[in-house]
Structure formats: structure tokens, C-alpha cells
């Protein structure tokens, strides 16, 4: 399945953070979502063949990478208190409605 690391993370406002995701075997597309408490996941961006393939309404301080082995990173610069959320990675076989989620990384910004 999809794996994510770390499980939990506490950062201070203004710091930078990197979250990691390994996609499910055979999946070459990774999408990142932010889920605030009590809300549904919000799409951040998607990576396909190591290029950004769509982006939601998130500022440029949210950036990502996809590697040749289809794993991915989400980087957030200049952390704000509102960035506290569960960050979810989803993989799929190509860009698709059929996306499978990892367990998430819970980020707390103090």
C-alpha cells in the first residue's frame, strides 16, 4: 500500500518541513491533500512522470517532487499556524479517479 513518513511532526511557525510518500506498487501518479480537523481533504497538487500535473488553491510555498521510483515529497516553507493538518498522499495508476490514500502525516505548527 501507500506509506508516508513521518507519522507525526511538530514544527514552529516560519520553519520548513518535508513530508515523504511511497506509492503503491504499479502506481506512477501521486496526489497530495491537506485535511484540516473536521474537514474533507483539499487537493494540493498531483505529480505524474515526475512533473506537476495539476495544482489546487495553495500558495507557492507548497511545493513537491516526484522521483524516478514514483515516490514523492511535499515541502512547505515558512510554516503558518493554519498549516496544522493531516497531510495525505494518494497514489494511482496514471491520473485517475481511483486514488488510494496513505495513513497521512499529522503536522502541528506552534
Partner 1 sequence: QKEVEQDPGPLSVPEGAIVSLNCTYSNSAFQYFMWYRQYSRKGPELLMYTYSSGNKEDGRFTAQVDKSSKYISLFIRDSQPSDSATYLCAMIANQAGTALIFGKGTTLSVSS
Three-class SS state of 110:
coil
> Which H or E run contains 5?
strand 3-5
Nearest partner of 12 among 63, 66, 80, judged by Cα: 80
- Rounded to an integer, what distance in angstroms lies between the CA atom of residue 68 and that of residue 77? 24
- Rounded to an integer, what distance in angstroms lies between the CA atom of residue 4 and that of residue 14? 23
Establish if 41 lies at the interface with partner 1 (CB under 8 A).
yes
- Rounded to an integer, what distance in angstroms lies between the CA atom of residue 21 and that of residue 92? 13
Give the x-and-dash track for 18-37 against partner 1 (CB under 8 A).
Answer: -------------x-x----
Sole window of 9-17, 60-68, 75-83, 102-110 interacting with partner 1 (rule: CB under 8 A):
102-110
Give the x-and-dash track for 80-99 against partner 1 (CB under 8 A).
Answer: --------x-x---xxxxxx
- Rounded to an integer, what distance in angstroms lies between the CA atom of residue 55 and that of residue 46? 7
Establish if 64 lies at the interface with partner 1 (CB under 8 A).
no
Which is closer to partner 1, CB of 90 or CB of 109? 90
Q: Determine which residue in the list 24, 28, 73, 100 makes contact with partner 1, applying CB under 8 A.
A: 100
Residue numbers at the binding site for partner 1 (CB under 8 A): 2, 4, 31, 33, 38-43, 46, 53-54, 56, 88, 90, 94-104, 106
Amino acid at each position: 500500500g501507500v506509506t508516508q513518513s513521518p507519522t507525526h511532526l511538530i514544527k514552529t511557525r516560519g520553519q520548513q518541513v518535508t513530508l515523504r510518500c511511497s506509492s503503491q506498487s504499479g502506481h506512477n501518479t501521486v496526489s497530495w491533500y491537506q485535511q484540516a480537523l473536521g474537514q474533507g481533504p483539499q487537493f494540493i497538487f498531483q505529480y505524474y512522470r515526475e512533473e506537476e500535473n495539476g495544482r489546487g488553491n495553495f500558495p507557492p510555498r507548497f511545493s513537491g517532487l516526484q522521483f524516478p521510483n514514483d515516490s514523492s515529497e511535499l515541502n512547505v516553507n515558512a510554516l503558518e499556524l493554519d498549516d496544522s493538518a493531516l497531510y495525505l498522499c494518494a497514489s494511482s495508476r496514471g491520473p485517475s479517479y481511483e486514488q488510494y490514500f496513505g495513513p497521512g502525516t499529522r503536522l502541528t505548527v506552534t
